[in-house]
Amino acid sequence: MSLSASKPYRPRIGLTTYYQEAAWGVWTANAALLPGTYVDAVVAAGGTPVLLPPIGSDPSIIDLLDGLIIAGGTDVGPEHYGARQHALTFAQPHRDSHDLSLTRAAMAADLPLFSICRGAQILNVALGGSLIQHVPDVLPDSRYQPAPGVFGTVEFTTTPGSICASLLGPRATAPCYHHQALDRVAAELHVTAKAADGTIEAVETTSGGWVLGVQFHPEQGPEDLRLFEGFIEAARAYSRTRTERTINVDHHI
């Protein structure tokens, strides 16, 4: 038996990135970057990370992937959901366009999609939903951002029968850093986790398939990989199904 045959397939997981000024060694320049916690979580859960900068990659990349993660980051521009810009909203138009197009392409291809924080907001907006631009405006006492660069903790309940419930159980806690949140939920999504104050913590597609958007930050809890492991298993199954479809097509040529 070959070495490759003795190990489970590590599905190829696309992860969206930032593209902005960064510093390393003696250099300061524009760079494609992503917090290492995302990469670490994908690798630990059994996947192969493929970084996707918001310039130069287009929706056709979906054909080469087994799963897609839309990562956290800057605010989503309110022009994408017909709102005026809040004084504390800071968007990156090039990243919005990139992440929205990849999200729609993944949905069209039934590709397993895991959308985290900003990613959940992108998912909702891509399908016609809207956002709360600044959570403290509606929840003045919220502690979702305890201090700049400090993650809070959110406790939430899940909906029976959902991906969230199957992987996390009826109640869970997770690291969070909410500044924006989902407001009007797109018709193609349904809420599958909520905090006690009503903040939407997870949404999933109404049409089936593995699509999960979470407002919290599971990549910041390396001791709990349940969501990443569920996502990687879905990506592995997607790869098997795609291979079977290709074989069947070849047999009919």
What are 209-252's pLDDT values in tens digits? 999 999 999 999 999 999 999 999 999 999 998 776 665 555 45
158: closest CA among 141, 144, 170, 176? 170
Looking at the chain, how many residues does it have? Answer: 253
Residues 181, 193: Cα–Cα separation, whole Å: 13
Global pTM reads 0.93
- Per DSSP, 178 falls in state -
pLDDT-derived band of residue 2, with 50, 70 and 90 as boundaries?
very low
In the chain, the amino acid numbered 134 is H
CATH architecture of the domain with range 4-251: 3-Layer(aba) Sandwich (3.40)
- Spell out the residues 6+ positions from residue 248 whose beta carbon is closer than 8 angstroms to its own: none
- Respond yes or no: is residue 251 known to be catalytic: no
- Per DSSP, 229 falls in state H
Instruction: Give the active site residue among 98, 164, 178, 219.
Output: 219
Instruction: Give the active site residue among 80, 98, 178, 217.
Output: 217
- Respond yes or no: is residue 117 known to be catalytic: yes
Residues 43, 10: Cα–Cα separation, whole Å: 9
- Respond yes or no: is residue 176 known to be catalytic: no
What are 110-148's pLDDT values in tens digits? 999 999 999 999 999 999 999 999 999 999 988 899 999
